[in-house]
Structure 1
Amino acid sequence: MKKIAVFASGNGSNFEALAAACADGRIDARIALLVCDKPGAYVLQRADRFGIPAFVFRPKEYASKADYERQIVERLQAEGVEWIFLAGYMRILSEVMLEAYRDRIVNIHPSLLPAFKGAHAIADAFAYGVKVYGVTIHYVNGELDGGKIIAQRAFDYTGDDLDELEAKVHAVEHPLYVETAARLMKESR
């Protein structure tokens, strides 16, 4: 069974979707570690409920991004982690991480990339007035939301409620991330 790590910075609903799918066998993998850069993030409570250990750090306590990423890589390697799934991890990865896990880091993004990159994709698309929204899962490279696309799912929305739209995005994100992770684990055997 593959060992994966999930990186998250906040609420952790995508983390929970992946953890539940690993627990019930929909994804043939085990989450060996949660990596979190926010000590008070709700995702830590979710990890605790699943019995998943967490590596929690404060980036400001390190001299550089490379310093904390080297420590993360050491911990990942000690746990035997083979794949990384980003689930609302709000940091751009450096070459330290990208080199250690080249073509094995996956991100989920709440827009149909290459449109609406960055941290405010849903609100940006909403403000622009798009009528077709979606979710993209892609490999991570050195460019913000710029890696090769693995999967996308689109849906129409013509309403005028940003909260409703965000709920619809999450309703698409969770199953798409689980399906894609399951496929990647199967293909990487």
Structure 2
Amino acid sequence: MAEQDERCRILVMASGNGSNFQALIDGVASGSIPNSRITRLVVNRAKAYATTRAEKAGIPWEYFNLISNGFLAKGEKDEAKTAEARKKYDAALADKILALEERPQLIVLAGWMWVFSAEFLRPLEEVGILVINLHPALPGQFDGAHAIERAYEDLKAGKITHTGIMVHYVIQEVDRGEPILTQEIGWDGEELDALEAKIHAHEHELIVKASAKVVGEILERGKK
């Protein structure tokens, strides 16, 4: 048990296929992310294939959703009610994580389609849990959703010559947290689908490298 206690506990959040989650699983298994283990997966979409990956790897997972878990009525259009429901969902998810027997030291958002509010981030920050996110754009470019599509349009228009990816710390301002690692990706005139595939191929490597970097810092901090 002593060896387990010394390894960094990672909780992963994903919304879809989970290919970046798989890269993290493989990174931990191979030692590319050393001295760590993935303790849990959380998904917010019922059909997320990431859960199948978790089961194959023997990692516990949980589905927690805004509507299915009763925070918001299906079809609700009122903006104020939606905003309040999102805050309650965020607070409940933070409470759920803080109550885990194996409380994580690091949360990695690996294709997590949801923007967190302070109701989620603040309680975790108070106990020193770090949250990092993979975003398919360079710092300060194409924040938020559809980043690859927006970059593609600017590449075609000649406004930019390359795009990129980053892993960054999560703060309230969307995709504005301090970058951990970045990587430029050139454009060779390929169509959107090919550009997406190229970007995703690089993402897997970057999320592993960035997670390893942060894990090292967490464990080093724990020795002091």
Q: Give me the TM-score of the superposition, normalised by structure 1.
A: 0.94
- Which has the greater radius of gyration? 2
User: Do 2:133 and 2:170's aligned partners in 1 also have CA atoms closer than 8 Å?
Assistant: yes
User: Do 2:163 and 2:184's aligned partners in 1 also have CA atoms closer than 8 Å?
Assistant: yes
Q: Give me the TM-score of the superposition, normalised by structure 2.
A: 0.80
Q: How far apart are the structure 1 equivalents of 2:104 and 2:198?
A: 32
Q: Trace 1:1-189 onto structure 2 (pairs within 5 A).
A: 1-27=7-33, 28-60=35-67, 61-63=70-72, 64-77=85-98, 78=100, 79-102=102-125, 104-129=130-155, 130-189=160-219
Q: Name structure 1 gaps, 5 residues minimum.
A: none
Number of equivalent positions = 189
Runs of 4+ in 1 over 6 A off after TM superposition: none
Q: Name structure 2 gaps, 5 residues minimum.
A: 1-6, 73-84, 220-224
User: Do 1:131 and 1:158's aligned partners in 2 also have CA atoms closer than 8 Å?
Assistant: no
Amino acid at match of 1:12: G
User: Do 2:10 and 2:108's aligned partners in 1 also have CA atoms closer than 8 Å?
Assistant: yes
User: Do 1:83 and 1:101's aligned partners in 2 also have CA atoms closer than 8 Å?
Assistant: no
User: Do 2:8 and 2:218's aligned partners in 1 also have CA atoms closer than 8 Å?
Assistant: no
User: Do 2:24 and 2:207's aligned partners in 1 also have CA atoms closer than 8 Å?
Assistant: yes
1:31-58 Cα shifts (integer Å, max 9, x gaps) = 1111110011111111111111111022
Q: How far apart are the structure 1 equivalents of 2:90 and 2:40?
A: 15
Amino acid at match of 1:166: E
Q: How far apart are the structure 1 equivalents of 2:97 and 2:212?
A: 20
- State the percentage of identical aligned residues: 37
1:107-132 Cα shifts (integer Å, max 9, x gaps) = 01001121111110001000111321
Q: How far apart are the structure 2 equivalents of 1:48 and 1:66?
A: 30
1:68-114 Cα shifts (integer Å, max 9, x gaps) = 33332233231221111101111111112211222711001001121
